[in-house]
Amino acid sequence: MMGEKPDYTFRYPVEAPAAGSRRDSLLEMIRIQLESLLGLLSLYQRGEEVKVDGFRLMDEGESIHPIFASGTDKAEVKVEVKVKVEVKAEVEPKSEPQPQPCPPPQPQPQPQPWPQPATSFQSARNAELYEPRIPHIQRVLESLLSVITLESNGKPVKVDGFRLKDLNHWLVPSFGDPAEVFDHLATRCDCNCSFCYLRGNPPSLALDQPKRKSEEEWEEVRTRLNYFSPAGKRALFPTLGSSYEILSHPRAIDLLRELRKKTDRPFRLSTNGNRLTRDFIGELSLLKPDYLYLSLNSSSPRRRREIMGAANPETAIHSLPLLREQGISFAVIIVPWPFPSKEEMLSDLRETVAHADRHDAHLVEVSLPGYSRYFSSEPLFDRGEVWASIISEIRALRREIQCPLLVKPSLYEETLYEGKFNLPAVVGVVKNSPAAHGGIQKGDLILSIGGLKVSSRPQARDLLHLHHQNRTPSLSLSVQRGKDFLELNLLTGRHGYPYAPETDHHLGMIFMGAGFRPSLLEDLKALITNHQARNVLLLSSPLVKPVFLQLLRESSLFGGIQIQVEVPENRYFGGNICMGDLLVVQDFIDGIREFLRKNPPPDLVVIPSSPFSLGQWRRDLEGRVFTEIERSVGLPVALLDCEPIYD
């Protein structure tokens, strides 16, 4: 299939700005290029970071020009990206006839096995997240075009874009996960969910991508497949937008077949289930190992039609026994939506969880509902009341069903009901897993694994994963069950459906989220020490703050150091969004400024890295680099490396 077909052409738009005065245009060209570079790198002298905010031209006296645009200048965000056809070379009209040059000799045509396809412009704003060197090139070109005109064969040439030349230059480190390729086909959806978070995306979100035909998307993904090297741990930089439904793409199965030739890693596929007919599931069964995240939301055809707009709601509902028949493990995803009433929502939640349990779902994930200000300018429901009612129902259901039942974000349940955070307590056991056969039960508190004492959830998960990877044939565990202390032995090779060793990493034990690593506090102490700080402002979220305060109280690392934990408001998304991972640069700037109005300035501001974790370049969801926070507030700002709270 791959043959000699040429690579997909990655193209980006260029638009020359209007020219100002000669002096201003030349200064702006330099300023733009310096600002863009400082969004990619930090300057050092003799091992020490150097902060700069201005420059002086060699031909000037003492004039110092600012590098960074003012807040007013930066407020303008290009929301729409123009999509144009191939780059054109145009000759500007002349007032006088020009002599005609002799035509150059024509080269012999070379055989082309495949025609070069015309491709749309990629989104430069999207590249800010994953490969900001591309928008840097765009800014450099645009700044140059403000003071020069390009020419070819003595004639002015107008350009409106550029393309990446050798794609080998644009390879990045890869985890070898096949989703790094197939997620680029998750560009469309055949549902119209009334609760879909994509409806509430802000217009300046950098996850935008131009709408393209399916065949052009296929050409891009085909090229990504060629450069995807699981063994070499290299892949093309991502251009992922907001994820939709991969199985709705007409070339999804074609891509998965080709990917399976390259890797035996599991395919973890998110789907609304509309395509899960018997024949389609049969196709998926030939591509094992695979695992489905089935966004079922309701086992009622009527309600699924009403809240999801599903044309054939029975297809997804009836797919569960077909998946079990083919040995494909799956998680059922439910977003309880409190309409037309909270009572109907809870009743439907009970029925849908029971349906998943009857058909041996690997687990059920219940995502707590929310909405942004772009979804609704008016309050839709009381978040605290609705979330508490859902969690109360979930905790009751856990006593009735066998299937593991999780809430996301799990920290909300933990802070609402658990007296102590971060414990290695089992909230669910996968049916037919080594843990189930070994006697582990819901509610067990893990005390030791393989003779090693366990004190936190991340520690338990890491040890279980290590023994799973090493294929330890048997594993001893000490657990506390109520007031009893038990010694159990797990045979890791004893398992059956829906457990699958390719996709289960903790021998069938399900915990209440990933938890917080004890090393997090050690990393925080190192940041504080490096900055010689005594008064620290740590910015968090409503979900994480109670946990972090407990960890600080229990720690002896911070004697003589005052740490204030504050929660900035999420104005970017607004609505009832409370996830810290969805904060952006401007939210942090506003939060720090509000703190300074009531408090003396701290020596150091510490911000979690998770809101800047989509790519490797420390950008937020608008594509803004975190160093803008320090420049705006005039205080030292450091990122504390941590993972997003979703597991």
Q: Is the pLDDT of residue 647 over 70?
A: no
- DSSP class of residue 62 equals S
Q: Which pLDDT tens digit goes with each residue over 404-419?
A: 999 999 999 998 898 8
Tell me the average pLDDT across 215-235.
96
What values do phi and psi take at 111, rounded to 5?
-65, 130
pLDDT at 359: 98
* CB of 429 closer than 8 Å to CB of 436: yes
* CB of 283 closer than 8 Å to CB of 275: no
Tell me the average pLDDT across 293-306.
97
Full DSSP string of 495-537: --TT--TTT-SSTTEEESS----THHHHHHHHHHHHTT-SEEE
From-to residues of CATH 3.20.20.70 in the chain? 170-408
Cα gap 444→477, rounded to integer Å? 11
The label of the residue with tokens 């904060």 reads 583
Q: Is the pLDDT of residue 104 over 70?
A: no
Q: Which helix (H) or strand (E) holds 629?
A: helix 627-633
pLDDT bracket for residue 84 (50, 70, 90): very low
pLDDT: which is higher, 243 or 17: 243
CATH superfamily of 170-408: Aldolase class I (3.20.20.70)
Q: Is the pLDDT of residue 112 over 50?
A: no
* CB of 316 closer than 8 Å to CB of 304: yes
pLDDT at 645: 61
Q: How far is CA 524 from CA 278, 441, 550, 558, in A?
A: 52, 36, 15, 10
Q: Is the pLDDT of residue 430 over 50?
A: yes
Q: Is the pLDDT of residue 525 over 60?
A: yes
From-to residues of CATH 2.30.42.10 in the chain? 423-514
Cα gap 637→234, rounded to integer Å? 32
CB atoms within 10 A of CB 643: 17
**What's the mean pLDDT when you consider all of the chain?**
90
pLDDT: which is higher, 642 or 319: 319
| Continuous H helices in 338-382 | 342-358
Q: Which pLDDT tens digit goes with each residue over 121-134?
A: 999 999 999 999 99
Q: Identity (one letter) of the amino acid at 300?
A: S
Cα gap 575→364, rounded to integer Å? 27
The label of the residue with tokens 């040059």 reads 101
Q: Is the pLDDT of residue 529 over 90?
A: yes
Tell me the average pLDDT across 256-264.
97
What values do phi and psi take at 415, rounded to 5?
-75, -25
Q: Is the pLDDT of residue 538 over 80?
A: yes
Would you identify the CATH topology of the domain 423-514? Pdz3 Domain (2.30.42)
From-to residues of CATH 3.40.50 in the chain? 519-640
Q: What percent of the chain has pLDDT over 90?
A: 79
Q: Is the pLDDT of residue 604 over 60?
A: yes
Cα gap 390→194, rounded to integer Å? 18
pLDDT at 97: 40
Tell me the average pLDDT across 561-581.
95
* CB of 621 closer than 8 Å to CB of 614: yes
Full DSSP string of 197-227: GGGG--TT-TT------HHHHHHHHHHHHHH
pLDDT bracket for residue 4 (50, 70, 90): low
pLDDT bracket for residue 646 (50, 70, 90): low
Q: List the CATH code of the domain at 519-640.
A: 3.40.50
Cα gap 106→120, rounded to integer Å? 29
pLDDT at 106: 44
Q: Collapse the DSSP code of 55 into the 3-class scheme (helix H, G, I; strand E, B; otherwise coil) and give the result.
A: strand
pLDDT bracket for residue 111 (50, 70, 90): very low
- DSSP class of residue 308 equals H
